[in-house]
Each structure stands twice: as C-alpha cells, then as structure tokens.
Amino acid sequence: MATVDIRAVRKTYPGLPFEVIKGIDCAIADGELLVMLGPSGCGKSTLLRMVAGLERISQGEIAIAGRVVNDLEPKDRNIAMVFQNYALYPHMSVYANMSYGLRIQRLPKAEIDRRVRDAAAILELEPFLQRKPRALSGGQRQRVAMGRAIVREPDVFLFDEPLSNLDAKLRTQMRVEIKRLQQRLATTSLYVTHDQVEAMTLADRLMVMRDGVAEQIGTPMEVYTHPATVFVGGFIGAPAMNFLQGEVAEGGAVRLPGGVALPAGTAAPGQAGRPVTVGIRPEHLAPAGEGVPGLPVTLTVDLAEALGADTLVHGRLAGTDTSLIARLAGHVQARSGEAMALTVTDGAWHLFDVESGRRLADTVGRLAKPAA
C-alpha cells in the first residue's frame, strides 16, 4: 500500500528570497494518479523533486507508504522517475539502460532479465533491446525511460512532463499508453504537466498550482465544474472562462453590466451591494431559441472564428465594454457588428469573491454535483 502524504511542505532555494512552495498538503491514495498542473514556474517540478529526494524539503514532511522520507536518499525511497528529456544513458544499450538500477541492487541475473523482458514486452520495446538510445525515435526513447521506471517495481512513479518533447500526435498516443499502463500496474503516480488536456484525461485527481500554492485539489470534473478560485476557473478550459464584474442586488440576484441580472437566489441574500466576479464558460452560452433554459443576453459580435466543429464568437455584452467569448456549434453563422441573442445555460455561472478570488460556496448552480 503505497500512499504518498505531503504535509505542510515548504521550499526555499538557497539564495532565493522567497518561498517557491508555500505550504502544500495532499494525501495521495494507493494506486491513485495525481496530476500537478499549473503555469510555468509555479513549483510543480520542485514539489515532485522533493518527493523524489532530488531537492531538500525546507519544512514539513513527505511520507511514502507511511514512512517519512525527508532524510532518505532517492534510491532508498523506492520511487522511479521519468524525465522530460528521457535522461537515458547514451552509451548504454536499451537493455543496459533498463537494467542499470537493478544491477546496482545486485539482483540475480535471471530476475533482472525477467523484469527487463516483461517491461520490454509491455512497452513493445523487444526489437530495440540491443540498440543505443541515439538510434531510437523520441517516442521509443520515452518508452525506454518508462521501462527503466517499471523494472524497478517502485512504490511510486514520478513523471515530470514526460510527453512535452513529443509531437502532438505521439503525445496523444503515449498519453493513452501511460494511462493504461498506470491502471494495469496500479502504481501510485505523481504526474507533472502544464498541458490541461493531458491533465484532464490522465488524472484521478488534479492539483492546480499557482505560485507555490495548491489552489485546488479535486477530480478533473470537480475542478471543471466547481473551480475553487478565479485562477482555476480561468486556467482550466479552452477557451478560458469569461469573467464579468457583477454586484449583488437585494434578494441575492446578481447584476451584470448592461442591465442583465442573474436570477435571485444566486448569491447569498443580505449581501446587497457586494461586488462579485462572475465566471461563465464559453461553452455555456448557446444561441437563443434552441430551447436551452437560461438567462438571455445579447452579444455584439466582434469576430467569429470557425474551427469546424465549433465556432468561437468574440463579442461584447450589448451596450457595454465587457468582452465575452461564446463557443457555439460549428454551423452557427455570425457577422462582425451584428447583435446576437444568446442564452447562458441555467445555473452555469460561478461567483467569486473579488478580493480573494475564492469561490463563493453558496453559488453552486444546477450543474452536476461533484462526486462525493
């Protein structure tokens, strides 16, 4: 049972005046795949490397399989890591690359051979065992790097952007392979990426990070349907969520620019006059009259981008400067300058505190409830 517990972990690099990780707590269950997602420089790799033992933990503790590992060397933590640039040993054959760690552990030859061949079979690397890494394609090298991780039979897999160096098509394919592999081996995994599609598809749970803080930890659906902060709302989903400045009216209605109002009961009553940030996803806008129940708004179209399956309509809320993007079906036509009647899907709006950016808890609309 290999759980990973990250408890109040902080990190300061020597010589840097600020904290890179500012207190993160997270318990990862046995066999779970946790994806860490966030913009560049937010500390994803740093956190992962602290789990690996490649970076000292400044404060707090990390436990693997119930054992605190703060002072253990990487090799004693029973982890395996897959790096972005594969980090293979260029002078060793694929077989030697995969077996190197096992040879250092002085496992019996037969056992090493069995493990390498098993891993090679899973990863379809058998024809390449005697080749040097330089004679392999990017995808094959990536598989060797995974093979090297698998043969260790570790408690935890750590992936640091393993697919970033691959082209888009191969990335999709490898993503599926990694998911299948992880489920088959049921090994607890931490996976760093800044690609949200990768994050959404792979994750059992997502940790969305910003500036060394875990803004939200939850299943991909939870994070999508109930973003905990303005940042998470804007970071997950493409095109990004629309944000509007609203104000709470009497009775809990929320007034939007241009005289539109979200119905009463949306915000907590008794907060009249409070400014709020309202988030609406582009995909939750639909042309009026398609029978979708919701709030009617009018958009002054600036520009329409036809993407085939979808049409992205950029515009402004009629009579205001508040810009808005709607993601509509591919057949929808929109001309620049025209006024377009749209409906905001009923309840598909998110309210956030203006100051803290945090979600206002009582605004859960009629979208699917998060799985408990």
Partner 1 sequence: MVEKSRLSVWIAHSVLILGILAIALPIYVAFVASTHDVRTVAQAPMPLVPGPHLWENYARALGQGSDSVGNVPVAAMLANSFIMAMVIATAKIVISLLSAFAIVYFRFPFRMGFFWMIFITLMLPVEVRIVPTYEVVANALAPVQSLLNATGLTWLIERLAGLRVSLEWNMLDTYAGLTVPLVASATATFLFRQVFLTMPDEMTEAARIDGAGPVRFLFDILLPLSRTNIAALFVILFIYGWNQYLWPLLVSSNLLTVQIGIGRMLAVGDGQVDWPIVMASTMLAMIPPVIVVVAMQRAFIKGLVETEK
Ligand X SMILES: Nc1ncnc2c1ncn2[C@@H]1O[C@H](COP(=O)(O)OP(=O)(O)OP(=O)(O)O)[C@@H](O)[C@H]1O
Q: Compute the Cα dihedral for 44, 46, 52, 57 and give only its sign.
A: negative
Alpha-carbon distance of 97 to 116, in angstroms, equals: 10
Report if residue 300 touches ligand X, rule: CB under 6 A.
Answer: no
Alpha-carbon distance of 185 to 118, in angstroms, equals: 12
Nearer of residues 59 and 78 to partner 1, judged by Cβ: 78
Provide φ and ψ at 82, rounded to 5°. Answer: -115, 125
DSSP class of residue 161? Answer: S
Nearer of residues 87 and 312 to partner 1, judged by Cβ: 87
When CB distances are held under 5 to 8 angstroms depending on the partner's kind, the choice from ligand X, Mg ion, partner 1, none that residue 105 binds is partner 1
Binding ligand X (rule: CB under 6 A), the pick from 8, 27, 41, 56 is 41
Q: Near Mg ion by CB under 5 A, which window of 44-52, 223-231, 235-243, 327-335?
A: 44-52
Alpha-carbon distance of 67 to 321, in angstroms, equals: 56
Report if residue 105 touches partner 1, rule: CB under 8 A.
Answer: yes
Provide φ and ψ at 194, rounded to 5°. Answer: -115, 15
Nearest-approach distance from CB 45 to partner 1, in angstroms: 11
Q: Near ligand X by CB under 6 A, which window of 34-42, 231-239, 249-257, 326-334?
A: 34-42
Report if residue 45 touches Mg ion, rule: CB under 5 A.
Answer: yes
Containing 339, the helix (H) or strand (E) segment is: strand 339-345
Binding partner 1 (rule: CB under 8 A), the pick from 70, 84, 219, 323 is 84
- Note if the bond before 282 is cis, omega within 30 degrees: no
**Amino acid sitting at position 44:** K
Q: Could you write out the DSSP letters of every residue in 175-223?
A: HHHHHHHHHHHT-EEEEEES-HHHHHHH-SEEEEEETTEEEEEE-HHHH
When CB distances are held under 5 to 8 angstroms depending on the partner's kind, the choice from ligand X, partner 1, Mg ion, none that residue 40 binds is ligand X
Q: Near Mg ion by CB under 5 A, which window of 41-49, 100-108, 183-191, 235-243?
A: 41-49
Instruction: Report which of 259, 281, 268 is spatially closest to residue 327, judged by C-alpha positions.
Output: 281
Provide φ and ψ at 323, rounded to 5°. Answer: -85, 155
Report if residue 13 touches partner 1, rule: CB under 8 A.
Answer: no
Report if residue 46 touches Mg ion, rule: CB under 5 A.
Answer: no
Q: Could you write out the DSSP letters of every residue in 77-126?
A: TTEEEE-TT----TTS-HHHHHHHHHHHTT--HHHHHHHHHHHHHHTT-G
Q: Near Mg ion by CB under 5 A, which window of 1-9, 42-50, 102-110, 194-202?
A: 42-50
Q: Could you give the string, one character per residue 45-64, with x where binding to ligand X holds by CB under 6 A and - elsewhere? A: xx------------------
Interface residues for partner 1 in 248-307 (CB under 8 A)? none
CB-neighbour burial class of residue 87 (10 A; exposed 0-12, middle 13-18, buried 19+) = middle
Report if residue 91 touches partner 1, rule: CB under 8 A.
Answer: yes
Write down the residue that tokens 């629309």 correspond to.
242
Binding ligand X (rule: CB under 6 A), the pick from 2, 35, 43, 79 is 43
Nearest-approach distance from CB 268 to ligand X, in angstroms: 36
Report if residue 81 touches partner 1, rule: CB under 8 A.
Answer: yes
Residues that bind Mg ion (CB under 5 A): 45
Q: Binding residues for ligand X, per CB under 6 A?
A: 13, 16, 20, 38, 40-46, 194
**Residues in contact with partner 1 by the rule CB under 8 A:** 52-54, 73-75, 79-81, 83-85, 87-91, 100-101, 104-105, 148
